[in-house]
A and B are shown apart, each in its own frame.
Chain A
């Protein structure tokens, strides 16, 4: 175990300490007084490494990360899990814009809301299945160019309404699945995606993740199942096949 007091520390130093710790076999880190340090967990490896973060971590939390688990006890800023390959990021508050950009594997759980452009260009590959789950709401343009993986949008906040309040999303989607826990008026959205009710296979799949999510944040699973789930999938893996003509 290793505790680092990050107050006033530059990210370069903080991340060096973490990398050094991992190299020396430390499995559990507690980082206190974090405030704005970028790149925590950037490019680190190790499935059994767990990093607890107290304070507000800076941008690019867990970028290029490949295995470890990061738990943030407060809000996080922009670019959480940028191009992440494996591992888990748990955020007890809100997250900023561009969560999980180009993410290829691992899980990002956000208790609260996430900002704009969540899950752009996420992609699955072989057994790697990136999953972003958001307890609250998201801003516009999420799942653009989505190529694989799963985004689960719960909208637990403001649970009186039965309709999800989102604008533009899933344009250019050509892979993966979005699950939403409320209806939306789909007619005004992406040409490239379609809305369905979930089937049994989907329900089984969701169950595992919803349980994990509920446990991570001490939410009752019944609460989550209060509303029905729908799924959004791309109409084609080739959204732009007919856009071009050769000179």
Chain B
């Protein structure tokens, strides 16, 4: 078939320039990764069809001459035939392709965190002032024995007899979620590495191998093993504080990923240990895991290769039967289970998956924690909750629902300037985050954004301390799993039951 020459898809946004204010410095031309702007001899021209509202141009326009507005030309409203659906039909009819997008779902599903309220002390037990009193956030991730065995020395003093399984020590219950070099830029990874080191937390390589520049950050890195096995070798497994097996991701449960060949430059090729220019394909399943006992086999293959000195984490997407799945994972020997809710971010995912598969992290987490306790194995593994933790309040609620720590992905990118435009898959990110174009990557200064990440996590940690103080406890372990401190609002009985909390007022 011949390609038809017109497209039905009108620009979503208009890049409007106030030519009276514009001094023709051309910064916008330079800054836009999508090539929206050009110079028309006497003034700046904007190709609206290219604008994705990433926010870079107006942030850097010295004159405030740019406004990005929603295209006022409407597609006639129809509650059933909503605009994105109509547009996707056009897109697919023009290309025959699967629609993909970056970032988490844009659907307006119920956000359970926004329907959970926290408790505070009044009179019968006191709140604690976090500015004056110690307020402990230190968190250890890893398998804990259910009891300790002791010996006694000559003086009769107890000494520890139990050999403690390896733990990751976090100074605050946050980790950076897995984002590979390839899906994001090396500078973005470096910013997280710097922040992780300063904060005493960890970042995660994702399935992209470990770049040489990040090797010195080993104490603050979890290395990932996914189905493509990119960059995975013995020394890699031993280069971080833990190894994570990625089974699934909240934004695209059950499917793999393709890093297109045009993004595989020399540096990424070296890190992933694949040739330049070939697609980096992560198959949907690990082909050595078709069943739970196979997962066990891989977990122990990694434990053997790391001589049992690194905790092994397993990352799964929150899906319908998550409680039973995680119970199986824990029994298969995982030391940490990372659960990613359906609104988690991604570098690229088919929207049919991203917008329609999986369940919210809040419900998944509550069910998993309850199930592991019922089975008496909650101590066997730590739980990391992820899938759009947007504030310290989300973090507190996740921890009270049963998480040991929470993972930050999209929020960390927002720190680096991301405006959640969802075009990460194009590789044109104007902020230098989800791109490999050197001129774009260069603008992301790891030191500057490392410090901003540090600021964000420090601020959120202080906020958690405030909340703990208000709740009258001075240690995060007294909040962890304490659902008694949560109440639901505007939730049905079924939802309350799934969350294991009572309605406000009760």
Contacts and interface: CB of A to CB of B under 8 A. Distances in A.
B409 interface: no
B98 A64 contact: no
B391 interface: no
Nearest to A247: B101
A242 interface: yes
Interface in A92-143: 98, 101-102, 104, 117, 120-121, 123-125, 128
A63 B278 contact: no
B288 interface: yes
A243 B229 contact: no
B275 interface: yes
Contacts of A117: 287
Interface in B72-99: 84, 88, 91-92, 94-99
Interface residues of A, number: 50
A148 B275 contact: yes
Contacts of A123: 273-275
A174 B99 contact: no
B332 to A, nearest CB: 14
A39 B304 contact: yes
A238 B279 contact: yes
Contacts of B95: 245
Contacts of A125: 269, 273-275
A245 B260 contact: no
Contact of A246 (B273, B279, B283, B426): B426
B97 A243 contact: yes
B426 to A, nearest CB: 6
A59 interface: yes
A237 interface: yes
Contacts of A242: 97
Nearest to A125: B273
A247 B422 contact: yes
A243 B95 CA distance: 9
Contact of B305 (A38, A63, A102, A104): A63
Contacts of B307: 19
A64 B237 contact: yes
Contacts of B443: none
B305 A42 contact: yes
Given A19-B307, A63-B305, A245-B99, A45 B234 contact: yes
A82 B288 contact: yes
Interface residues on B, range: 35 or more
Contact of A101 (B98, B229, B304): B229
A38 B300 contact: yes
A43 B279 contact: no
Contacts of A36: none
Contacts of B426: 246
A243 B298 CA distance: 31
A247 B283 contact: no
A193 interface: no
A239 to B, nearest CB: 7
A196 interface: no
Interface in B251-270: 258, 260-261, 269
Nearest to B84: A247
B220 to A, nearest CB: 23
B423 interface: yes
A79 B99 CA distance: 35
Interface in B277-296: 277-281, 283, 287-288
A244 interface: yes
B180 to A, nearest CB: 16
Contact of B229 (A19, A121, A172): A121
Interface string B51-72: 0000000000000000000000
B99 A60 contact: no
A177 interface: no
B278 A240 contact: no
Contacts of B91: 245, 247
A247 B88 contact: yes
A69 interface: no
A241 B279 contact: yes
A136 B277 CA distance: 34
Which of A78, A104, A246, A247 lies at the interface centre, i.e. has the most chain B CB atoms within 10 A of its CB? Answer: A247
A63 B297 CA distance: 11
A172 B227 CA distance: 14
A238 B280 CA distance: 9
Interface in B339-374: 348, 350-351
A175 interface: yes
B423 A246 contact: yes
A245 to B, nearest CB: 3
A83 B233 contact: yes
A11 B296 CA distance: 14
Given A245-B100, A247-B99, A83 B232 contact: yes
B445 to A, nearest CB: 28
11 contacts: A12-B304, A43-B305, A102-B228, A117-B287, A145-B283, A147-B274, A147-B275, A174-B281, A175-B274, A241-B279, A247-B91
Closest 3 CB pairs of A and B: A43-B305, A102-B229, A245-B97
Given A101-B288, A246-B423, 10 more contacts: A12-B304, A66-B234, A78-B288, A82-B301, A98-B288, A101-B287, A104-B229, A104-B273, A120-B283, A123-B274
Interface of A: 11-12, 15, 19, 38-39, 42-45, 59-60, 63-66, 78-79, 82-83, 85, 98, 101-102, 104, 117, 120-121, 123-125, 128, 144-145, 147-148, 172, 174-175, 237-247
